[in-house]
Chains A and B, each alone.
Chain A
């Protein structure tokens, strides 16, 4: 998918989101919608203009829009506070790499929900070390155990956070 198509897709999602907010606001009283409704309308208009703009200009101009901001020298590339935090490698990231990164987050989330934070931390960290083969099995297990123990002691013993045992906890209890 071209960069322009991706940008259009994101903008279309935003457009739908602002439209949804406007629709939901109809159920609120006049005071409750006093701020969200005009802002959502404003957002809808801005997004519509953005879609038009990014389809009128050249691909290079996707980095800028009609209202220029005085940051940076040329064409906004590699400038401004946000750009500074963007690793160069990301711009060339393939969809496979992005899917893998998303999968990493999804796996940890699933583990936390199913097994609770501590068991999830142990399995996720150990699995990650094992999968990437960054450490030997023995070193990976030791690091994982030490890290999990430190996390448990810090959050659940020292800070007395209420533990969560996961959706599967009743199965284990039986």
Chain B
């Protein structure tokens, strides 16, 4: 094994591999910052250029780009509350308030360091757990995935901002929006009104661009001043503060990383769920949850650590079984085929050095991203001080072009505009946009796994799947916890008075 670790690293020390890694990282950062384009697009666009090169160099290019998009996504979420993709959503909640308080450098640095630490933890666990994870994954079926998705819904209370009723309505709207298009189970067109475009459903990145980016620009146009007015709010933080924040909250980083790793291992769950779940976990476990949403640095560190580790987790089922953990891992599988590598149990014997090359790529790419990120933090932190009259036309234009670029369909631009207005109205009347997105993310997963569970095990599937039953108990416990805490706090207040 030690020999394979060494061979994996040696394969990355060739000039071609080093160059490819650097190109991949820089390219990934740019793509990550563009709205609507995330790691999947970054890898898909690189795929045609990967044939005929060294295996390790090709993987360095692809994985390097993919890992860099994670932090790229976070940058716009923190600075403008405009998530580059669904993954960056959780960063808006505390990163953006930090920017408005003159702590953009700290938030960006904490985000980059959190992602680095999460990435390294994820890579180490990937190396250690590949042989162990096989029976765990095989023990989980659609019923357990259904419970995972239901657990995701418990975060709704966290994002409901005083009104759980409106929060629930928003999430139901998100679920119903996700059902627009052809039903994956019965092939029935639902809510399409005969439109061929709607048959494919609403593109998730396009909906995100509208709900957050377009509506934020509408708000900025109304406000008419920079996001951060330096005459009123000075930049009071440093990059080093952010780095130390991530180090100081090491236990939060470890917890979030393990969560990200676990979600990554589960095929089809995805990093967007991971970021939201990490944020909810950080709020639920904090001794001062009231600070969240107002610029708590933990709200930045937790999602980034989770998303960093998520990549290592996503590689596990991809390498061990040939089952992609997400869309980006599916593209990696295509690259494997091009390279003549067959994922599966043989990866752990015949191609172990390649597996460790990937582990090293995750570690090195994360380090390179963090170094570049920390270096450009001060320059990035100045962007929110640009005047609204400059920001609005530029960001709106990029958003609309980005929406079009997602699927090269002009109708997506209309969808982005409609969701932009919807996002503005939801925000104004306190229907949580975050809950809408959570509903949208989890809807298809819930429906698909419920149908499969019913088909495989019948109506009493929970009784036949004890793990799923235990998970349901956990879901109910997690859902009830916030209400129990409120009841306890009110009781204490009543006793005090």
B183, B217, B397, B486: the one contacting A68 at CB < 8 Å is B486
Q: State the majority secondary structure of interface residues on B.
A: helix
Q: Which of A10, A63, A70, A164 has the most CB of B within 10 A?
A: A70
Decide if A113 touches B429 in the complex (CB within 8 Å): no
A67, A100, A106, A155: the one contacting B405 at CB < 8 Å is A155
**List of A residues within 8 angstroms of B431 by Cβ:** 10
A28-B190, A69-B163, A105-B417 known; 5 new pairs, CB 8 Å cut-off, are A29-B186, A80-B159, A87-B223, A112-B404, A159-B37
**List of B residues within 8 angstroms of A75 by Cβ:** 162
**List of A residues within 8 angstroms of B398 by Cβ:** 151
Q: How far is the CA of A9 from the CA of B427 in the complex (A)?
A: 15
B163, B173, B220, B397: the one contacting A14 at CB < 8 Å is B173
Interface: B131 (CB within 8 A): no
Proximity bits, B220-235, A CB within 8 Å = 1, else 0 = 1111110000000000
B176, B185, B420: the one contacting A43 at CB < 8 Å is B176
20 A-B pairs with C-beta separation under 8 A: A10-B425, A17-B173, A21-B191, A28-B183, A29-B186, A36-B175, A39-B175, A50-B165, A70-B482, A70-B483, A73-B290, A80-B160, A81-B292, A85-B216, A87-B220, A89-B222, A104-B221, A105-B396, A112-B413, A121-B397
Decide if A65 touches B293 in the complex (CB within 8 Å): no
Q: How far is the CB of A87 from chain B (nearest CB, A)?
A: 5
Decide if B401 touches A35 in the complex (CB within 8 Å): no
Q: How far is the CB of A3 from chain B (nearest CB, A)?
A: 9
Name A's B-contacting residues (CB within 8 A): 6-7, 10, 14, 17-18, 21, 24, 28-29, 31-32, 34-36, 39-40, 42-43, 46-47, 49-50, 53, 63-73, 75-76, 79-87, 89-90, 93, 97-98, 100-102, 104-106, 108-109, 112-113, 117, 120-121, 124-125, 128-129, 132, 134, 143, 147, 151, 154-155, 159-162, 164
**List of A residues within 8 angstroms of B397 by Cβ:** 108, 120-121, 124-125, 147, 151
Q: Which of B94, B183, B485 has the most CB of A within 10 A?
A: B183
Q: How far is the CA of A18 from the CA of B173 in the complex (A)?
A: 9
**List of A residues within 8 angstroms of B81 by Cβ:** 85
What 3 A-B pairs are tightest by C-beta distance, nearest first?
Answer: A76-B162, A80-B161, A81-B93
Proximity bits, B277-290, A CB within 8 Å = 1, else 0 = 00100000000011
In the complex with contacts A31-B451, A89-B223, A112-B400 CB distance below 8 A: yes
A35, A43, A89, A121: the one contacting B446 at CB < 8 Å is A35
Count: A-B pairs, CB below 8 Å = 257
Decide if A85 touches B183 in the complex (CB within 8 Å): no
Q: How far is the CA of A128 from the CA of B158 in the complex (A)?
A: 38
**List of A residues within 8 angstroms of B124 by Cβ:** none
B214, B299, B408, B429: the one contacting A6 at CB < 8 Å is B429
Decide if A80 touches B162 in the complex (CB within 8 Å): yes
**List of B residues within 8 angstroms of A106 by Cβ:** 417
**List of B residues within 8 angstroms of A132 by Cβ:** 389
**List of B residues within 8 angstroms of A66 by Cβ:** 165
**List of A residues within 8 angstroms of B167 by Cβ:** 69
Q: How far is the CB of A129 from chain B (nearest CB, A)?
A: 7
Decide if A32 touches B188 in the complex (CB within 8 Å): yes
Name B's A-contacting residues (CB within 8 A): 30, 34, 37, 41, 45, 81, 92-94, 96-97, 157-169, 172-173, 175-176, 179, 183, 185-186, 188, 190-191, 214, 216-225, 279, 289-290, 292-295, 299, 387, 389-390, 392-394, 396-398, 400-402, 404-405, 408, 410, 413-414, 417, 420-421, 424-425, 427-434, 443, 446-447, 450-451, 482-483, 485-486, 489
**List of A residues within 8 angstroms of B158 by Cβ:** 71, 81
**List of B residues within 8 angstroms of A154 by Cβ:** 30, 34
Closest A-chain residue to B489, C-beta based?
A: A70
B45, B169, B389, B446: the one contacting A129 at CB < 8 Å is B389
Decide if A65 touches B410 in the complex (CB within 8 Å): no
Q: How far is the CA of A66 from the CA of B167 in the complex (A)?
A: 12
In the complex with contacts A71-B290, A151-B397, A32-B183 CB distance below 8 A: yes
Q: How far is the CB of A82 from chain B (nearest CB, A)?
A: 5
In the complex with contacts A32-B183, A70-B482, A108-B396, A134-B389 CB distance below 8 A: yes
Q: How far is the CA of A28 from the CA of B189 in the complex (A)?
A: 9
Q: How far is the CA of A106 from the CA of B359 in the complex (A)?
A: 47
B92, B162, B483: the one contacting A79 at CB < 8 Å is B162
Decide if B404 touches A161 in the complex (CB within 8 Å): yes
Q: How far is the CA of A93 from the CA of B397 in the complex (A)?
A: 23
Q: How far is the CB of B478 from chain A (nearest CB, A)?
A: 13
In the complex with contacts A90-B428, A108-B400, A76-B420 CB distance below 8 A: no
B162, B186, B223, B432: the one contacting A31 at CB < 8 Å is B186
Q: How far is the CA of A35 from the CA of B94 in the complex (A)?
A: 33
Closest B-chain residue to A88, C-beta based?
A: B223
Q: How far is the CA of A83 from the CA of B293 in the complex (A)?
A: 7
